[in-house]
């Protein structure tokens, strides 16, 4: 057993250095090289998307999506407040208003029953965030979006190979976004992908990602010069990032199997605390599959959250809270709008504690962490 348990640790597949070496010796280290193409093939095929375009981060993938949708000043984009700033910031950069809706108390995902009331004539997109890789109620969200002719961009930053009714997260809405930041289940340091689930976006997305030029078409021999055609930015990652990502993607099934096993074990070991009413454990709705990206406890009495964190820390076990709600943050108050009060968001933000979960965590570590949590409540 470890003497000190960090909150997070990357698990390398063993092929990262070999692929980095190959990339360096090939002299193709800029974007759109062989590793980028292979990663995009793997992602589109595994997730069932029309196209996958690697980006420098999940944040950039959302920014690319907002450009593709031509989000304009005055537009509104609906999202949960319990999320990372990157769900909102790309739309604020376009001059749009993020409209914050409360979350469900069970999955901590956007509460679909509150969606209709948030829609106005200015609503251009809904961004459901699949918190911890556990799916939002996508059928209801899509039906509402279709009825109002609003685009859906799934923020599946946490959700590689997670499922909703047999479909992969990120492949269900018009577009989907994943993150490959170091802290995610598949880690390339930084990196992301924009999944295009409708072929109508593909040509323009390539142009916006390449500084507004048709450089990709030029490299395919489809045009004899490349030129400035549209707005855009530099969203394409180096092939070095893609080399690391390819090694991770090839190992993904094994990495996720270990996380899912740890998640199930925590559920078994901590269930008595839920039954005694001390904590709420994650809910994985039927028909969905998570990946063990995050394991959290929501304390019934929020005043004990700091105490549990301290208790774990005294035993050298790291634990962390999560998002500071966007609707009440300084930038959220300045640029966003909340739909009513968001009581579930506020309660969860003050009482959530995430505990270590990663493939290298050993069975005895999981027992030790669970035991330490149990002694706090006893």
Ligand X SMILES: Cc1ncc(COP(=O)(O)O)c(C=O)c1O
Is 259 near ligand X (CB under 6 A)? Answer: no
Q: Is residue 59 involved in binding ligand X (CB under 6 A)?
A: yes
Nearer to ligand X, 84 or 100 (CB): 84
Q: Shortest Cβ distance from residue 212 to ligand X (Å)?
A: 21
Which among 1-9, 79-87, 224-232, 357-365 is the span making contact with ligand X, rule CB under 6 A?
A: 79-87
- Which one, 39 or 366, has the nearer CB to ligand X? 39
The correct pick among 36, 49, 81, 86 for binding ligand X (CB under 6 A) is 86
- Among all residues, whose Cβ is closest to ligand X? 58
* Residue 154: CB minimum distance to ligand X, A: 10
Could you say whether residue 181 binds ligand X (CB under 6 A)?
yes
Which of residues 108 and 145 has its CB atom nearest to ligand X in the complex? 108
298 binds ligand X, rule: CB under 6 A: no
Residue 20 Cβ vs ligand X, minimum distance, rounded to whole Å: 20
Q: Is 128 among the residues that bind ligand X (CB under 6 A)?
A: no
What are the backbone dihedrals phi and psi of residue 219, each rounded to the nearest 5 degrees, phi first? -65, -25
Nearer to ligand X, 58 or 278 (CB): 58
Question: Residues 171, 179, 246, 345: which binds ligand X (CB under 6 A)?
Answer: 179
Look at residues 293, 257, 263, 260 and name the one whose alpha carbon lies nearest to residue 366: 263
- The residue among 355 and 373 lying less far from ligand X, judged by its C-beta, is 355
- Check residue 155 for interaction with ligand X (CB under 6 A): yes
Q: Out of 57, 280, 288, 319, name the contact with ligand X by CB under 6 A.
A: 57
Contacting range for ligand X; rule: CB under 6 A; set: 22-30, 40-48, 56-64, 339-347: 56-64
Q: Which is nearer to ligand X, 102 or 155 (CB)?
A: 155
Site string for ligand X, 21-40 (x = CB under 6 A): --------------------
Question: Using the rule CB under 6 A, which residue among 36, 87, 185, 280 binds ligand X?
Answer: 87
For the chain, the three-class secondary structure string (H helix, E strand, C coil) is CCCCECCCCCCCCCCHHHHHHHHHHHCCCCCCCHHHHHHHHHHHHHHCCCEEEEECCHHHHHHHHHHHCCCCCCCEEEEECCCCHHHHHHHHHCCCEEEEECECCCCCCECHHHHHHHCCCCEEEECCECHHHCCCCHHHHHHHHHHHCCEEEEECCCCCCCEECCEECCCCCCEEEEECCCCCCCCCCCCEEEEECCHHHHHHHHHHHECCECHHHHHCCCCCCCCECCCCCECCCCHHHHHHHHHHHHCHHHHHHHHHHHHHHHHHHHHHHHHCCCEECCCCCCCEECCCCCEEEEECCHHHHHHHHHHHHHCCECCECCCCCCCCCHHHHHHCEECCCCHHHHHHHHHEEEECCCCCCCHHHHHHHHHHHHHHHC
Binding-site ranges for ligand X (CB under 6 A): 57-59, 83-84, 86-87, 129, 155, 157, 179, 181, 192
């Amino acid at each position: 057993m470890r003497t000190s348990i960090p909150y997070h640790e990357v698990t390398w597949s063993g092929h990262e250095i070999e692929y980095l070496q190959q990339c360096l010796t090939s002299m193709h280290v800029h974007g759109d090289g062989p590793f980028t193409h292979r990663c995009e093939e793997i992602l589109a095929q595994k997730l069932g998307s029309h196209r996958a375009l690697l980006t420098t981060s999940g944040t950039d993938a959302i920014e690319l999506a907002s450009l593709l949708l031509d989000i304009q000043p005055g537009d509104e984009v609906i999202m949960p407040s319990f999320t990372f700033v990157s769900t909102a910031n790309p739309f604020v950069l376009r001059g749009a208003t993020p409209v914050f809706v409360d979350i469900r108390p069970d999955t901590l995902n956007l509460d679909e029953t509150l969606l209709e009331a948030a829609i106005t004539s200015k609503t251009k997109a809904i961004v459901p965030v699949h918190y911890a890789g556990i799916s939002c109620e996508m059928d209801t969200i899509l039906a509402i979006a279709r009825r109002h002719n609003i685009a859906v961009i799934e923020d599946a930053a946490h959700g590689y190979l997670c499922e909703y009714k047999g479909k992969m997260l990120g492949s269900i809405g018009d577009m989907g976004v994943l993150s490959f930041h170091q802290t995610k289940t598949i880690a390339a340091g930084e990196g992301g992908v924009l999944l295009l689930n409708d072929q109508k976006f593909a040509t323009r997305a390539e142009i916006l990602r390449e500084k507004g030029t048709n450089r990709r078409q030029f490299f395919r021999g489809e045009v004899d010069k490349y030129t400035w055609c549209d707005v855009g930015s530099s969203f394409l990652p180096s092939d070095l990032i893609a080399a690391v990502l390819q090694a991770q993607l090839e190992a993904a099934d094994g990495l996720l199997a270990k996380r899912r096993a740890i998640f199930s074990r925590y559920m078994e070991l901590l269930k008595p605390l839920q039954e005694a009413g001390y904590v709420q454990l994650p809910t994985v709705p039927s028909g969905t599959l998570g990946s063990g990206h995050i394991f959290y406890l929501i304390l019934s009495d929020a005043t004990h959250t700091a105490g549990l964190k301290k208790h774990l820390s005294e035993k050298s076990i790291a634990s962390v809270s999560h998002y500071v709600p966007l609707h009440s943050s300084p930038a959220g108050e300045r640029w966003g709008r909340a739909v009513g009060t968001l009581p579930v968001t506020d309660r969860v933000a003050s009482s959530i504690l995430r505990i270590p979960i990663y493939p290298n965590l050993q069975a005895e570590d999981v027992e030790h962490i669970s035991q330490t949590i149990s002694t706090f409540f006893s």
